[in-house]
Chain A
Amino acid sequence: MLPPNNRDDACRPPAPRSPLAMTAHPIAVEEYRPEQEPYYHPVGDEVALFEAAAAGHIPLLLKGPTGCGKTRFVEHMAWRLHRPLVTVSCHDDLTASDLVGRYLVKGGEVVWVDGPLTRAVKVGAICYLDEIVEARKDTTVVIHPLADDRRYLTVEKTGQVHPAHPDFCLVISYNPGYQSALKELKVSTRQRFASLAFDYPAPAVEAAVVAHETGLDPARCDQLVRLAQMTRNLKEQGLEEGASTRLLVHCGRLMVAGIDPVRACETAIALTLTDDPEMVAAVAEMVAAVF
């Protein structure tokens, strides 16, 4: 007997979107380039703006709440501009050497290894520094000469200066919601970038995104988006953040796999958003009202 969810279309994994999903082995950072078009539903004029900025060598700052499509947008643009994409997730231990490169001792030999930023500069990739404010301020300054009209990278250790490849494009992101006052971008860093503000898309667009990403039927997608908006209204009224588009996609996939909508929402949304039993119950009530 077949297990119940082994129906033909019930539990199909999402179509592979990245080269990594298809190859089993790791690849060098600068070799990562989206080959199939990563699906991105434009919300405003951001595609045109990105293209103009890339052509004009203007670095970009993307800001917006978590899971609203910033990373997807950059992947899409990398595909559109036929450039490799180098992504670095910043954290507070990230040093300048982690970005630029360092000498390593390998079997008695000493070799220089380029960091991801240096590689991106050399091959003309889009370099995406995710959550830039998490990085220490002394780390962020290494991107300064790259982000103004000099467009070169100085590597102190090797005593070299790398002029950026004409296709090199610097993109940083941050989520203005979370930081404390101590974690703001330096003005001198910030003012090197043009800024694109992201937010959760309008309901119709968001529903279309969820439908495309999950294959869930449109009526259900509308309901998911409505639920998300309800949770977003509770931001700072018990919830730290409302449900992101990403959560809706997860939830939709569970539903497509045959999970009951209420259970799917509980798993993918309610329990993810909060640990407070009172708020979990409140979200559960919203789910019951919406579905």
Chain B
Amino acid sequence: MMTETCVSNLQIGRPKAGTTPIPYSLSPMHWTRAKLDDHLSRRLEPVLSSRRTAAVAVEAVWRLSIPARGAALDLFEIAAAANEEIAFQFLLHVQAAVDRRGIQGLQGWLLEILDRYDRDGMYPAIAYLRTVGEGEATAVGEVALAPLAGRLETFLAALGGERHAIIAGVGPTTDGDHLILPERFHLAPTAEDNRTLYRWAATLLWAQLHRATFRLPSGWGDSAVDDLGRLDHFLSSFADPPLAAHLYLLAETVRLEAALGRELPGLARAAAAAKGALLATDLGRDHALLPPRARLCASLTRWLLGGNPGEAATVAHLLTPLATDSATVAASCAAVTACYPHLARLPGDGAMALPYLAALQPKRVAEALRRQRQQRLARLRVAIAHLAAEQSIHPPEKLAMRARTPSPSPTYELVAEGRPVELSAEVEGQLQAVVADLPTLPPELLAAGGWAPGYDPATPAGGEPVAGAAGDGFFYDEWDHRRHAYHKGWCTVREKAPAASPEPVAARILAGHRGVVRALRARFERLRTEERTLRRRHDGTDIDLDAVVEAIADARAGVEPDNRLFTRLQRDERNIAVCFLVDMSGSTKGWINRLQKESLVVLCEAIEAAGDRYAIYGFSGMTRLRCDLYPIKPFSEPYGEVVRARIGAIEPQDYTRMGAAIRHACFRLGEVEARTRLLIALTDGKPDDWDHYRGTYGIEDTRQALIEARRQGVHPFCITLDRDAADYLAHMVGPASYCYVEDVRTLPRKIPEVYRRLTR
């Protein structure tokens, strides 16, 4: 009677084989050839025909060594999720790739292919893929960024601070948010040295951001601007700002290389060796033909690489003290002032970059760092609001922050009415992040009420208040599958007050579905209990052996033995919390919207009968800074007229950024004490947002959010109405269980049914 196709057998976490990615636990590398054939044929079906079978791909995989086969089949799934034709070609050429790059290099290769696919489309990607076997596709010793980027990001994250995404571009430089590195490096003759130089450059960029290169103390630049604005002022105060900027980069490089040398001697040793190799190239030569200033700069570069400063000895001498332990960014400024005249008087253009570092971008970085500072403060504010709620401090304005130890690097504590409050881990973490950047908190934050939720502190001079940094938002990371990493605090989720309909929409729906509701209520009431074995009962279905042994011992000891010797099956209180996420994107206009409303009204009636705790959130929004969630029914609010009026008012809005919505729903679920937590997402289509969220990116982020949910002990389930769902759905909601409903008209009956089977 039901026309929908249930892809899942409705057992949580156990999607039926065939439509979903293979469970990796089966170790594809040990598959039989027949199984392999079967799997590849199914996976590649869209690009196969009666004349083109999977046999060649099977043969190619079968010839691989066992470990290579494992790696290739894992990666094949990634490729197939993007494009079956690419996946097919990937298998045909995988042996050549293993020969050239080794098993370790396979992933990097696929990443390069998929990058090209994202950028240029399928045919260029396949053309590139095919070059893997041809001669030397790349210059000798040249290395590409793509396969290194993920590992580099991890390395820098380990050094501390917020995670920075590494992107390809003109560099190496930083814009304050990202570290920008060239797509390929072939400075040194060997690949080994080029890899080291990539790492060294990235680490230096990290150090620029975290060791105050862009944060001058007062006394340098214009003291009237904030610490982040001073560098630009300082450099512009010279007659030739680009020259000053170049000298500043040089001075900071001397200072930071020495500092890193102390902290990371192993890396510094490798870097010194790589620099030595650079010295043996053109960079180490004397450049007699250059104009005087450029010649001096070239000599300085040679000195930086560990060579002889030659005619730059005087300037090098001025820079040398920067390598000491105690050198600060102020010393770099002083060195720039001292060195500047030596170069400025020479004719010629001297603003050239160092071999492995490109020019600084003080303005852009200052902007980004200012925005990050605001975001950190906003996050701290949210954390403090949570803390106030948790510890029932009312009103939250009572909380104040004060310095516990005096400057220069004070530690702070929170007090409520003069008494210190124990910091939550969340507040502690956010406070540390804030103080790492802003050692002395501005006075307005230490004033009473400075942390009140609605209070926005004066923006520092020159800074703009940032969209998304307001105190009432929640920040969530977003998964970037190409980077294999998160964009930290990328999405701002706000809970917006939902509208309430003045029309008795819900009442009309109830009237129209009276029969269905009555039947559902009856079935759901029977759910109110669940089964459990109880031990040590007076009577029951089985003997409790432990109890018997103990009773015998007690009896012999002369103690009255306990006569509760049985186990019994107990039907117990349900302990379930469920959060429904309802897609309110623009595409739900019309009858889908109407059916959503009907479904929700019916559903509420049913769940009320079962007595479970539940919440309903609508989600929509536009861009990562405006992910809106509408609490149609929060967990804390009872079902009633108000909730019904809100359901009646659900109207399609903008786009669907599903990942953020799922993460926020999980956060809300986490606040409820329940043995079982369920997240049921109802969506009409692919995740889609205005800023690059459509396509693979959104699918992968949604998938990742579902994986996170599972990790947090939430059981996710997706109900989808997308007609051409099959192609991506299995992959996207693979971490969850799911079903899709072909005949939308059955939705009002379908949703409660799914719920009942999930929680039975």
For A290, list chain B residues within 8 Å (CB): 263-267
- B159: CB under 8 A from chain A? yes
Known contacts A182-B675, A231-B158, A282 near B553 by CB under 8 Å: no
Q: Is B158 in contact with A234, judged by CB distance below 8 angstroms? A: yes
Q: Contact: B264 with A289, CB < 8 Å? A: yes
Question: Can you name 25 A-B pairs with beta carbons within 8 Å?
Answer: A97-B550, A102-B550, A104-B553, A105-B552, A110-B558, A158-B559, A181-B713, A229-B160, A230-B158, A230-B160, A233-B157, A233-B158, A233-B159, A234-B154, A234-B157, A237-B154, A237-B157, A278-B151, A282-B158, A285-B151, A287-B266, A289-B266, A290-B264, A290-B267, A291-B265
Number of B residues whose C-beta is below 8 Å from A?
A: 28
- Could you mark each residue 504-529 of chain B with 1 if its beta carbon is under 8 Å from any beta carbon of chain A, else 0? 00000000000000000000000000
B673 sits at the interface (CB 8 A): yes
Question: Is B331 part of the contact surface with A, judged by Cβ < 8 Å?
Answer: no
Contact present for A282 and B675 (CB under 8 Å)? no
Contact of B163 among A105, A180, A226, A237 (CB under 8 A): A237
A residues at B contact (CB < 8 Å): 97, 102-105, 110-112, 157-158, 176, 180-182, 223, 226, 229-231, 233-234, 237-238, 278-279, 281-282, 285-291
In the complex, which residues of chain A have a beta carbon less than 8 angstroms from the beta carbon of B159?
Answer: 230, 233
B425 interface residue, CB < 8 Å from A? Answer: yes
Find A282's partner among B151, B263, B267, B550 (CB 8 Å cutoff). B151
Q: Does B273 contact A (CB under 8 A)?
A: no
For the complex, what is the distance from the CA of A105 to the CA of B154, rounded to whole Å?
59
Q: A110 to B555, alpha carbons, bound, how many Å? A: 9
Please report B residues at the A interface, Cβ cutoff 8 Å. Answer: 151, 154-155, 157-160, 163, 199, 263-267, 270, 425, 550, 552-554, 556-559, 670, 673, 675, 713
B673 and A181 form a contact (CB under 8 A): yes
Q: Are B263 and A226 in contact (CB under 8 A)?
A: yes
Residues from chain B with a CB closer than 8 A to the CB of A97 are 550
Q: Which residues of A contact B155 (CB under 8 A)?
A: 282, 285-286, 289
Q: Nearest chain-A residue to B555 (Cβ)? A: A110
Q: Are B559 and A103 in contact (CB under 8 A)?
A: yes
CB-based contact A102/B265 at 8 Å: no
Bound-state CA distance A158–B554 (Å) is 10
CA distance A281 to B550 in the complex (A): 53
- Complexed CA–CA distance, A288 and B264 (Å): 9
- Closest 6 CB pairs between A and B? A289-B267, A110-B557, A230-B158, A110-B556, A103-B553, A289-B264
How many residue pairs bridge A and B at CB < 8 Å? 73
CA distance in complex: A157, B159 (Å): 57
State the majority secondary structure of interface residues on A: helix
| A111 to B554 Cα, complex, angstroms | 10
Contacts of B675 in A (CB 8 A): 182
Nearest B residue to A184, CB-CB: B673
A103-B554, A237-B163, A288-B267 known; A282+B154 contact, CB < 8 A: yes
B158 touches A286 (CB 8 A): yes
Give the Cβ gap from B32 to chain A, nearest Cβ, in Å: 26
Query: Inside 8 A of A158's CB, which chain B residues have their CB?
Result: 559
Complex formed: what's the CA distance from A97 to B554 in Å?
A: 13
| In the complex, residue of chain A having the shortest beta-carbon distance to the beta carbon of B556 | A110
Which residue from chain A places its CB closest to the CB of B557 in the assembled complex?
Answer: A110
- Residue in contact with A176 in the complex, picked from B267, B425, B559, B670, CB distance below 8 Å: B425
Select from chain B the residue with minimum beta-carbon distance to A195: B422
Residue of A whose beta carbon sits closest to that of B554: A103
Shortest CB distance A288–B (Å): 5
CB contacts (< 8 Å) of A291 on chain B: these are 265-266
Residues of chain A within 8 A (CB-CB) of B265 are 223, 290-291
CA A289 – CA B32 in complex, angstroms?
43
In whole angstroms, how far apart are the Cα atoms of A29 and B759 in the complex?
A: 47
Residues in B neighbouring A230, C-beta threshold 8 A: 158-160
Shortest distance between the CB of B29 and any CB in chain A (Å) = 14
Given known contacts A157-B554, A181-B673, A226-B263, is B157 in contact with A288 (CB within 8 Å)? no
CB of B557 to closest CB in A, whole Å? 4
- Closest A-chain residue to B552, C-beta based? A105
Given contacts A233-B159, A291-B265, contact A157 B559 (CB under 8 A): yes
How many angstroms from the CA of A123 to the CA of B267 in the assembled complex?
Answer: 56
Cα distance A172–B267 when bound, in Å? 43
Contact B160 A233 (CB under 8 A): yes
Q: Which of B157, B158, B267, B557 has most chain A Cβ within 10 Å?
A: B158
A157 to B267, CA, bound (A): 65
B270 closest partner in A (C-beta): A288
Residues of B within 8 A of A229 (CB): 160
Q: Which residue of B lies closest to A106 (CB)?
A: B553
Name the distance in Å between B480's Cβ and chain A's nearest Cβ. Answer: 14
Distance from B236 Cβ to chain A, minimum over Cβ atoms (Å): 36
Which of A176, A234, A237 has the most chain B CB within a 10 Å cutoff?
A: A237
When distances are taken between beta carbons in the complex, the residues of chain A under 8 Å from B158 are: 230-231, 233-234, 282, 286
B-side contacts of A226, CB under 8 Å: 263
Bound together, the chains give a CA A233 to CA B557 distance in angstroms of 58
Q: Point out which of A226, A278, A285, A287 has the most chain B C-beta atoms below 10 A from its C-beta.
A: A285
User: Which chain B residues border A157 with CB–CB below 8 Å?
Assistant: 554, 559
Residue of A nearest to B673 (CB): A181
* B267: chain A residues within 8 A (beta carbon): 288-290
